[in-house]
Amino acid sequence: MLNAMAQLVTRLDDRLLAEVDALVSEGVAATRSDAVRLGLEALIDRHRRQQTGQAIVDAYRRHPQDDDELAGLDEATRSLVGEEPW
């Protein structure tokens, strides 16, 4: 059974097409289609990371750390940094 991939059709202005072609000629992407796939993957990854970050922020806003959870963090951080060889 063949694994057919969907096709997307889009229009690009001359400037953006020239930028994509430059990426291909510089070896950043193998083809125009590869460049589009890489760009979409990067967009999706960035969006998911932003969603995860926002979910973490929202969770801390709903349930902020209390004094017991924060106790000793400064000293623990100083200790960890002091152990670094730099």
Please tell me the pTM assigned to this model: 0.70
**Domain presence at residue 9:** no
45 lies in which domain range?
14-83
**Domain presence at residue 5:** no
* DSSP notation for 6-75: P-------HHHHHHHHHHHHTTSSSSHHHHHHHHHHHHHHHHHHHHHHHHHHHHHHHS---HHHHTTHHH
Q: According to the model, what pLDDT value does residue 75 have?
A: 82
**Domain presence at residue 3:** no
Q: According to the model, what pLDDT value does residue 73 have?
A: 82
Q: According to the model, what pLDDT value does residue 1 have?
A: 64
The mean per-residue pLDDT over the stretch 9-37 comes to 97
**Domain presence at residue 7:** no
**Domain presence at residue 57:** yes
Backbone Cα Rg of the chain:
23
**Domain presence at residue 6:** no
Q: What is the pLDDT of residues 29-83, one digit of tens each?
A: 999 999 999 999 999 999 999 999 999 999 999 999 888 888 878 888 888 888 8
Tally of domains within the chain: 1
